[in-house]
Chains A and B, each alone.
Chain A
């Protein structure tokens, strides 16, 4: 027995020692995933989203991106512009050229400046001369040559400066030209490089150009919102308004077992005065025994509540809409 006990004890000791060495705890390497900022917004808040960029800062008073005054147009994906810089510069390419005819411009300006500035000191000098002449007629002539010299020096300096400026301008223009050429060349290189994904862009010369977002006031910086957002300001959207009006007349099928089966989608075509243009059409079918009843209830609600009072200015938005009648959460646009 003693022998067995010793063997067992030794075995355990060895096992524990091995465990001490082998069981080194390695910390789990958790991959820190990028955190996503999540805002919880309600349905109506979502419908009131302003046009903008998803990544923009949240402004106190959100303004839609507007680059041109005029009729409102929804902003397209703003990020798209950055993706196609080449074509944008292509349309902008003529822009640097107009300065070229201006090139002689600085010189005439300089020339103009010279005659302008020449008489000026004289004019200035005259009243100066007159005043001291009254007080000290004798002393008046001596400062004259010095003043003249100083004026001349000043003029010379001005001229030099102007010349320098002109030269600088010229240089700038040249640089601009060079840059434009470089861009052109790059563009051409890009164009030459075969990229199958850009074939569509090459075929449709018009598509890469982005239409300027128009609105009431100019605003160059996009505010927080969605590219497809339509609300200019935070007002209840047209769909919300329509929804609220239909809901008033709707008797949802109460007590149905499978409410999920009773979702009814109806398409409405409205006239400008808010009345139905045609009978509402049912967009889905359901196998539920109560589905027909639910569909009828929805149709009834739509017919009963017309005409709908909706902003005529946004007729495009609510001219042809699909409304979902969901008994679970009453309604969804």
Chain B
């Protein structure tokens, strides 16, 4: 512990935390947990979005390479897929089911495929968007929570000052520093949360619109095929 660093160690971060009122302590620990959670989500989202983007790029390359769709489907269907590949697999499965069954039902195939693709898009977007709301909540709420801790701490320290009947700065300062520490933690949690939320939500929107664009294109292709075969 750096408490051994002389007289001034009185106001190290640890002692600031340790001398605070329990409500302030609770606020501080909560905010610290929030900060940890926010960064965890941010790291996870960053990796997920990067992975998704590269997967999409790879799939699009494969899809538009002129390879037969049957072959692509066979190579993808065996393993679990995400985003664009999942969309493709879901649509192809529905198509295949309609063709390979004994009764050929073209009537509602187009509609069915579009439905399936919509559901898949919704699922994929939900997967990308998951926990982003936490970032938004932390970003907007944690300054207030920190402020609450500060107000409580200052209230408390003023009561102590009144009790000690001494108004010298040396008496007033530690309590206030301690209280302000709560706001500092709140801001430390809130600032990255807000930034990450803005960044990731725009990224998710971009990817969702890309998925929708692909779904429209693919459904157009399938619709042409259906019309040709019917």
Interface size class of B (residues with CB under 8 A): 20 to 34
Would A24 and B39 count as touching, CB distance under 8 A?
no
Chain B interface: which of A2-10, A188-196, A211-219? Answer: A2-10
B125 at the interface (CB under 8 A from A): no
Contact B11 A25 (CB under 8 A): yes
Write the nearest CB–CB distance from B47 to chain A, whole angstroms.
Answer: 7
Q: How distant is the Cα of A122 from the Cα of B1 in the complex, in angstroms?
A: 100
A1 and B39 alpha carbons, distance in the complex (Å): 11
Pairwise interchain contact A7-B40, C-beta atoms closer than 8 A: yes
User: Is the beta-carbon distance between A4 and B44 smaller than 8 angstroms?
Assistant: yes
Specify which of A5, A9, A16, A25 lies most central, judged by the most chain B CB atoms within 10 Å of its CB.
Answer: A25
Task: Mark interface residues in B16-59 (1 if CB within 8 Å of A CB, else 0).
Answer: 00000000000000001001111111111001000000000000
B164 adjacent to chain A (CB < 8 Å): no
Closest chain-B Cβ to A139's Cβ sits at a distance in Å of 92
What A residues does B9 contact at CB under 8 A? 24-25
Q: Could you tell me if B14 and A8 are in contact, using CB atoms closer than 8 angstroms?
A: no
- Within 8 Å of chain A (Cβ to Cβ): is B5? yes
Q: Which of B10, B12, B13, B37 contacts A8 (CB 8 A)?
A: B37
Known: A9-B36, A11-B39, A12-B39. A20 touches B12 (CB 8 A): yes
Choose among B10, B38, B41, B44 the residue that contacts A25 (Cβ–Cβ < 8 A).
Answer: B10
Taking CB as reference atom, which chain A residue is nearest B35? A12
Which among A1, A19, A24 is the interface contact of B44 at CB below 8 angstroms? A1
Choose among A3, A11, A12, A23 the residue that contacts B13 (Cβ–Cβ < 8 A).
A23
Give complex CA distance A147, B222 in Å.
161
Please tell me if A27 contacts chain B, counting CB pairs below 8 Å: yes
A24-B2 contact given A9-B36, A12-B35, CB 8 Å threshold: yes
Smallest CB–CB gap between A171 and chain B, Å?
62
CA distance in complex: A260, B40 (Å): 67
Interface set, chain B 211-230, CB cutoff 8 A to A: none
Contacts of A26 in B (CB 8 A): 8
State in angstroms the CA–CA spacing of A5 and B47 once bound together. 13
Residue A40 lies at the interface, judged by CB distance under 8 Å to chain B: no
Q: Which B residues are in CB contact (< 8 Å) with A16?
A: 13
How far is B11's CA from A81's CA once the two chains are assembled, in angstroms?
A: 56
A4-B13 contact in complex given A24-B2, A24-B8, A27-B8, C-beta closer than 8 Å: no
Chain A residues with CB under 8 A of B10: 25
Which single member of B11, B40, B41 contacts A9 (CB below 8 Å)? B40
In the complex, chain B residues whose CB is within 8 Å of the CB of A278: none
Across the interface, name the chain A residue whose C-beta is closest to B46.
A4
Within 8 A of A (CB), among B63-116: none
Say yes or no for A95: interface residue by CB 8 A criterion: no
Chain B residues lying within 8 Å of A25, measured Cβ to Cβ, are 8-12
| Smallest CB separation, A51 vs chain B (Å) | 43
Which residues of B sit under 8 angstroms from A7, Cβ to Cβ?
Answer: 39-40, 43
Tell me the minimal C-beta distance from B36 to chain A in angstroms.
Answer: 5
A19: chain B residues within 8 A (beta carbon): 13
Asked whether, in the complex, the Cβ of A12 is within 8 Å of the Cβ of B36, the reply is: yes
Establish whether residues B13 and A20, one from each chain, have CB atoms under 8 Å apart when the complex forms: yes
Q: Is B7 in the interface zone, CB < 8 Å from A?
A: yes
Q: Which residues of chain B have C-beta atoms less than 8 A from A41's C-beta? A: none
A21 at the interface (CB under 8 A from B): yes
A5, B11: Cβ atoms closer than 8 Å = no
A16 to B33, CA, bound (A): 13
Closest to B6 in A: A24
A7 and B41 CA atoms in complex are apart in Å by 10
| Closest A residue to B14 using CB positions | A20
Return the CB mask of A274-317 against B: 1 if under 8 Å, else 0. Answer: 00000000000000000000000000000000000000000000
The residues of A that contact B2 with a CB separation of less than 8 Å are: 20-21, 24
B1 and A8 contacting across the interface, CB-CB below 8 Å: no
Contact B13 A5 (CB under 8 A): no
Q: How far is the CA of A19 from the CA of B7 in the complex (A)?
A: 18
A24 in complex: contacting residue of B5, B32, B38, B41, CB < 8 Å: B5
A8–B8 touching, CB < 8 Å: no
Q: Is the CB of B14 within 8 A of A4?
A: no
Known A-B contacts A20-B1, A24-B5; the reply to A8 vs B39 at CB < 8 A is yes
Contact A4 B12 (CB under 8 A): no
A2 to chain B, nearest CB (A): 9
Q: What residues of chain A lie closer than 8 Å to B11, measured between beta carbons?
A: 25
Once the chains bind, are B47 and A4 in contact (CB under 8 Å)?
A: yes
Q: How far is the CA of A109 from the CA of B40 in the complex (A)?
A: 112
Once A20-B2, A20-B13 are accepted as A-B contacts, the answer to whether A5 and B40 lie under 8 Å apart by CB is yes
Measured between alpha carbons, how far is A24 from B43 in the docked complex, in Å? 31
CA of A11 to CA of B12 in the docked complex: distance in angstroms? 20
Known: A8-B40, A25-B12, A27-B8. 4 other contacts (CB 8 A): A4-B47, A8-B36, A20-B2, A24-B12
Selected A-B contacts with CB under 8 Å, 9 pairs: A1-B44, A4-B40, A7-B43, A8-B40, A8-B42, A20-B13, A24-B8, A25-B11, A26-B8
Q: Which 7 A-B pairs have the closest CB atoms?
A: A8-B39, A4-B44, A8-B40, A4-B43, A5-B40, A25-B11, A25-B8
